[in-house]
Chains A and B, each alone.
Chain A
């Protein structure tokens, strides 16, 4: 049924905290790209079994829907869900208008990161939230997929542009928060233009850190300041 996957995600998000990730999240952040499936991170619960119970109760009643273990490349029964989640950290739901990948633990993130990721998310879609750029990047590095490299490049550019606008004028607390998520030579150099000396110091220490790692822009900027 057209729109079925979207309806399921939106319905689930009214009952549980749901973060949208993957290609859909990248589109929500502004990149015009295609995606074949929906990826969501369903909030952790007391145990994997409790988490699986919620997934089963939402999906099992749907006609034609089935669970698929992507690590074993096979359909699984609802009773095998715990084992599959333990193995792959996610389950694919097929038989809908699009694949729906439900993550218990996304790539390179910890289950414990969910609350922080939820707090950092500033974009919402109905009751669901969109994973913030820095968390989204974390799920896309070192995957070896070309589309993920393109996404990372887009998200880095977006972070650089948006953070630079803020770092030029924000206070030290906000600058500390921003620079705890993402850092590059442009964001650090922009912090150096802030009227607050504490923010400028943060920018300078960031540049020194990047220079120590061999960043040529940071090395050139520090040399110019000597």
Chain B
């Protein structure tokens, strides 16, 4: 029977450390005015949720293409 999952101790402690660092940064900055959050501007790979196995492969291929395009543009500084 499948056991209930809980995140590993390592990942929980890493999250705890991140949260502590973020709290320290916020405290050091002091009160800040409310700023509008940047809206999510990501475009879905498909106009609809995946409906077929081919849709999933299409997403995988598009991601692979995008990664390859990005890598081709990268250069060492």
Contacts and interface: CB of A to CB of B under 8 A. Distances in A.
B30 interface: no
Contacts of B52: 6, 10, 125-126
B4 interface: yes
Given A34-B64, A125-B50, A126-B51, A28 B56 contact: yes
Contacts of B12: 184-185, 215-217
A34 B6 contact: no
B50 A27 contact: yes
B5 interface: yes
Interface residues of A, number: 46
Given A27-B59, A27-B60, A33-B60, A125 B2 contact: no
Range class of the B interface residue count: 20 to 34
Nearest to A184: B7
Contacts of A128: 53
Given A215-B12, A217-B12, A116 B56 contact: no
A3 B53 CA distance: 9
A153 B11 contact: yes
B51 to A, nearest CB: 7
A128 B53 CA distance: 9
16 contacts: A6-B54, A6-B57, A10-B53, A20-B56, A24-B56, A27-B59, A27-B60, A32-B45, A38-B57, A110-B1, A126-B53, A135-B2, A138-B3, A185-B12, A216-B16, A217-B16
Interface of B: 1-9, 11-13, 15-16, 19, 45, 50-57, 59-61, 63-64, 67
